[in-house]
Amino acid sequence: MTASQTQYAPPRPPRLTGLWGLSFVATVGLVLGAIVLVGIVVIGLVLQLGVWTLVLGAAWTLLALGGLLPEAIKTRDGQGHYTKTIHRRGFRRGEKAGETILSQGLTGKVPDMKISLPGVGASTSLSEHTDIHGNPFGLLTWGDTNLYSVVINAHPSGTSGKDPKTFDDEVAQWAAWQGQLNKVGNIVAAQVVVESAPDSGQRLARAIDRGRVEDEAGDLAGSVPAFSRAMADQIKTSASAGSPQIVTRLTITFSGEEKDDDSGEVHTRSADEMKEQIRDLLPELVSTLIATGAGSSGCRAATAQQIIDFTRVAFDPSVAPNVEEAQILGGTGLTWDEAGPLTAVNRFDCYQHETAWSRTWQMREAPKGAFFATVLKQLLAPHRDIPRKRVALCFRTESPLNSAQIADRDVTAAQVAVSQSPRAKAAQEQALIAAKRTADQEALGAPLIRVGMLVTVTVFERDMLDRVSRMITSRLAPQARLRMRLPRGAQDSAFIAALPLGMVPAKHAGLAAFAEQI
């Protein structure tokens, strides 16, 4: 059997189209320049300056257009030249001031000597609770933002050998699961993180040892054929050669603040109230994931210790075998204050943490054209030349009132784009059709959800990072018809955002520029 070839409408960003396709900033600058030009003409006519009015008007027009041109002409990252220059200079100032270097622990520069998460993650706290059925789950609290995140371990069955109808049903169930997110007023975001990493082979080796058959004397030679023993030993040896493993986690983020769409008042819930609400809602959210193909038996909330362990491995992949061995023997015993990196350096185009180097991209444009459910299959699959890869799909929910306003505004913007040109491009006409279809679906009850994507690769050598990066930008991303952008100067924030911890960049004022696409 093969996966379904049902075609879906690709995600599209709702936005206000500027004049002649310009960005919002360039459009505002153009309008202001036009207002000043009108003022020059009026003053010239009042003062009877004659030809000088034309000279001043022409000079101002050339000056304004020349000033707007660098911002209007986009770079390869889709940003204006002014925006890139401001970001680069701001990063350089922070670099000179030593703000890009982190040193923690007993010999570090942090007063409390903890090894916390860097940046916005430093204010997080982790606690463990039980849901209404008595199942434990870890709860992350994001400092002053009043956000609470829970992590769900999933074991998706994949697409191989699956009936097309079953595959389509799972996609429909996933859409239905997303649709219920904005119906719970406190859910503001969700994440799906798929990580591929080398498998140490320890679990398989121990399972083989536990499954060996021994005779009454405890001797293997008398009861187990030599061929079987040789095969078991060969499997143990080959399993430790670094074969890839895929781990999938989902994160749901709740907000303690709830806005009344009618009155505009914001109601704030206490931490205890949020814990009670989450413990009541979590079992249903987890159980409804089973129909999406996320796993029939292993789909359950992660405990606090599991969150600590995978966070520690993310910041220092070299300890992954030790952490796995400790988990098998009874637990690592690590605390949340030890989950971060001892040392880290936020460089302009990459992130150095402990013994590893990472680089994170964010989605600039979603796939265009024909959109199938398997469009991200190659990007999500393990790659032999990329040791560690993490793909995070980020979803931000919109309230029903905001969904309707955004959908209607998007239709208006698409109509303006078509009417500006007597010969509208086919792409603009298709955008108008898609905007109307989205508005119709929203009117029928389908919510609008903002979608973003982050891709992180991690290696142990700086030279290897550039080689692995080319695999992403020149092969895997183009195969998925994705256009990616490197968040330069914000690699540390992008790294944390790609972890299954539930960070919502839009809720942190210091990450406003990075949060535009997430």
pLDDT(215) > 50: no
Output the six-digit token pair for 50.
């004659």
DSSP string, 360-425: EEEEEE---SSEETTTTHHHHS-BTTBSEEEEEEEEEE--HHHHHHHHHHHHHHHHHHHHT-SS--
Q: How far is CA 373 from CA 3, 7, 393, in A?
A: 8, 8, 14
Measured CA to CA, the distance from residue 106 to residue 108 in angstroms comes to 6
Long-range contacts of the stretch 331-336 (C-beta < 8 A, 24+): 331/305, 332/305, 332/308, 334/305, 334/308, 334/309, 335/308, 336/116, 336/124, 336/125, 336/126, 336/304, 336/308
Q: Which residue has the higher pLDDT, 359 or 228?
A: 359
Among residues 81, 80, 88, 39, which one has the least CA distance to residue 61?
A: 39
Q: How many CB atoms lie within 10 A of CB 361?
A: 22
Measured CA to CA, the distance from residue 502 to residue 2 in angstroms comes to 33
The contacts of residue 136 (CB under 8 Å, 6+ apart) are: 128, 129, 130, 301, 303, 304
pLDDT(68) > 70: yes
**In sequence order, what are the beta bridge partners of 141?**
125, 148
Residue 511 pLDDT class (50, 70, 90 cuts): low
Q: What is the pLDDT of residues 324-361, one digit of tens each?
A: 889 888 889 999 999 999 999 999 999 999 989 999 99
Q: How many CA atoms lie within 13 A of 475 on its CB side?
A: 13
Instruction: Report DSSP state, residue 23.
Output: -
**In sequence order, what are the beta bridge partners of 344?**
102, 353
Q: What is the pLDDT of residues 97-110, one digit of tens each?
A: 888 899 988 877 77
Measured CA to CA, the distance from residue 138 to residue 91 in angstroms comes to 35
Average confidence score pLDDT of the chain: 81
pLDDT(516) > 60: no
* Of the listed ranges 145-154, 332-341, 359-368, the one predicted with least confidence: 359-368
Output the six-digit token pair for 472.
């992403």
pLDDT(250) > 80: yes
Residue 191 φ then ψ, to 5°: -135, 145
Residue 20 pLDDT class (50, 70, 90 cuts): low
Report the pLDDT value the prediction gives residue 216, as an integer from 0 to 100.
Answer: 41
Residue 109 φ then ψ, to 5°: -105, 10
Contact 383, 389 (CB under 8 A): yes
* Of the listed ranges 18-22, 142-146, 152-156, the one predicted with least confidence: 18-22
Exposed/middle/buried for 4, CB within 10 Å: 0-12, 13-18, 19+? buried
- Taking the C-alpha atoms of 309, 310, 316 and 322 in order, what is their torsion angle to the nearest 10 degrees? 50
Within 119-225, residue ranges assigned H as helices are 164-179, 202-210
Contact 270, 214 (CB under 8 A): no
pLDDT(388) > 80: yes
Q: Where are the beta strands (DSSP E) in 177-290?
A: 187-198, 244-255, 257-259, 266-268
**In sequence order, what are the beta bridge partners of 266?**
259
* Of the listed ranges 222-226, 231-235, 311-315, 459-463, the one predicted with least confidence: 222-226
Measured CA to CA, the distance from residue 208 to residue 206 in angstroms comes to 5
Report the pLDDT value the prediction gives residue 217, as an integer from 0 to 100.
Answer: 44
Measured CA to CA, the distance from residue 247 to residue 301 in angstroms comes to 14
CA 52 to chain centre: 56
Q: How far is CA 338 from CA 254, 334, 457, in A?
A: 25, 6, 23
Q: Radius of gyration of the chain from Cα atoms? A: 27
Most confident option among 215-229, 380-394, 395-409: 380-394
